[in-house]
């Protein structure tokens, strides 16, 4: 079954890292992918998202017409910074794999969620 591993963090915190610290974190992230990709547990479609300042949000307005605003929900400290698609036997296996992710500044929480299948 497919699972989405949502990577949450404060992109403003990420932007305060020194280049050396950012490089160290990314080395750990690349190491995580190198560990799991050969197992077939990571499937195509994983993405890293640009900072919240680049986002647009579309919501239903009072009249039912779409309202477009800059950014995500601005009151949130943490936003989704990336999504990794996993192929696992069950959610417990997906959570165990997620638990090996290198949590660091700017990447402070993960959520694993089953992907809907309409087949």
For the domain that residue 12 is a member of, what is the CATH number?
Answer: 3.30.70.1060
Segments in 1-119 forming alpha helices (H): 11-14, 19-36, 91-98
Domain count, the chain: 1
The parent domain of residue 95 ranges over 2-114
List the structure tokens of 91: 């959610």
- What does pLDDT average to in each consecutive run of 10 residues of the chain (119 residues)? 92 86 92 95 86 84 88 72 95 97 84 90
Contact 87, 40 (CB under 8 A): yes
Taking Cα atoms as reference points, which of 119, 113, 117, 116 lies closest to residue 4?
113
Domain annotation covers residue 119: no
Measured between alpha carbons, how far is 79 from 82 in angstroms, rounded to an integer?
9
Domain annotation covers residue 86: yes
State the pLDDT at residue 52.
80
């Amino acid at each position: 079954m497919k699972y989405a591993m949502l990577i949450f963090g404060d992109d403003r915190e990420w932007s305060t890292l020194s280049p050396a610290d950012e490089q160290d974190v990314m080395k750990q992230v690349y190491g995580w992918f190198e560990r799991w990709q050969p197992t077939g547990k990571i499937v195509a479609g994983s993405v890293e998202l640009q900072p919240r300042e680049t986002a647009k949000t579309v919501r239903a307005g009072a009249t039912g017409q779409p309202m477009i605003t800059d950014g995500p929900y601005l009151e949130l400290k943490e936003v989704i910074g990336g999504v990794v698609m996993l192929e696992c036997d069950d959610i417990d296996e997906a959570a165990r794999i997620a638990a090996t992710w290198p949590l660091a500044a700017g990447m402070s929480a993960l959520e694993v969620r089953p992907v809907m299948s309409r087949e």
